Amino acid sequence: MQNQTETDAAGLRPQVLEVGTPSAPRRIAFLRRAGANSALPGLVWLGGFLSNMRATKASFLDDYAAKARRAYLRFDYSGHGESDGEFETGTIGAWLEESLAIIRAESDGPQILVGSSMGGWLALLCAQALAASGDAKRLAGLVLIAPAADMTERLIWDHLPPDLREEIEKKGRCFLPSSYSDWTYPITRELIEEGRKHLVLGGTIRTHCPVHILQGMKDVDVPWTHASLLVEHLAGDPVVLTLVKDADHRFSRPSDLTLLAQAIDSVAGIPPQGELKLE
């Protein structure tokens, strides 16, 4: 596990949940804040592709949860942050399995899933899986930030030039530049092909709970039109879409984070309190 002895700003050490098979367990690192206000649903953070549970939005939510005295659970997918595994071997199915395992094992009562980018897709998949297993009551709502539904197909594969598609098919992977660092990251054939088992934009999506989507209109990774398309597929549940004209994919400015907190309160049924300031 990477940085196993590291602590976050609140002095919390990560705990570990083993997911997978006894012969090939994946050690998933997580941080859990206990809630003192049982009237409020807990929060579960589902981070984005290549992100981690100590990133800006995830850490902001820890401060927000502490002020509201509500439970908060965040974790790293395998191959991310402080969890075991290599990023290159990860798939949507594996990260979904880990998300569901963490939610079921480490949260109590109704939860609001807060999913960013790929985490938004995983939140939708979690909602579907929980409903299929008779656990729809475990969800009080979804708050999705630039949700990258079906991203392996619609946002990656469909936009790859022919030479990179051929490289994936022949060599099993290609490397793409990151918009946020000098690092290039691998896109594997397994990620693309396994992702096709989890596509949601082919029909109606049911979450069985209210959904609030936050989307920046300057987002070049997940275009705002992709969020609008998702709304069309969420025909059976109450949905609010908030478009922020000058926000990009990070959605991490103080004004963006204020909107995030307000969206969570709205989904939880907490009346607006005027201008919200969290410092």
User: pTM of the predicted model, to two decimals?
Assistant: 0.92
Flag the least confident range among 3-7, 12-16, 166-170, 228-232.
3-7
Helix residue spans in 214-253 (DSSP H): 224-233
Helix (H, G, I), strand (E, B) or coil at 164: helix
- DSSP structural state of residue 149: T
- Which pLDDT does position 13 carry in this prediction? 85
Query: What's the pLDDT score for residue 266?
Result: 94
- Write the CA distances from 185 to 50, 69, 150, 181, 182, integer angstroms: 9, 38, 19, 10, 10
Identify the band that residue 1 occupies on the pLDDT scale cut at 50, 70 and 90. very low
Higher pLDDT, 85 or 37: 85
Q: 24-33 and 42-46 as β-strands: parallel, antiparallel, unpaired?
A: unpaired
Domains recognised in the chain with CATH numbers: 15-149+202-267 (3.40.50.1820)
Residue 139's nearest CA partner among 150, 124, 149, 117 is 124
How would residue 273 be classed by pLDDT, with cut points 50, 70 and 90? low
CB-count exposure of residue 153 (10 Å: 0-12, 13-18, 19+): middle
Reported confidence tier of residue 94, pLDDT bands at 50, 70, 90 = very high
Q: What pLDDT does residue 38 have?
A: 79
User: Which tens digit of pLDDT belongs to each residue from 53-69?
Assistant: 999 999 999 999 999 99
What confidence tens digit (pLDDT) does each residue in 202-227 have?
999 999 999 999 999 999 999 999 99
Q: pLDDT tens, 17-57? A: 999 888 899 999 999 999 888 789 999 999 999 999 999 99
Task: Provide the pLDDT confidence category of residue 272 given band limits of 50, 70 and 90.
Answer: low
Residue 111 amino acid letter: Q
Rounded CA gap, 240 and 171, in Å? 42
**What mean pLDDT comes out for the span 237-244?**
97
Q: What is the DSSP letter of 134?
A: T
pLDDT-derived band at 245 (thresholds 50, 70, 90) equals very high
pLDDT of residue 275: 45
Catalytic site residues?
A: 117, 219, 249
| Extended beta strands in the chain, E state | 15-21, 24-33, 42-46, 72-75, 111-116, 139-145, 173-177, 184-188, 211-216, 239-244
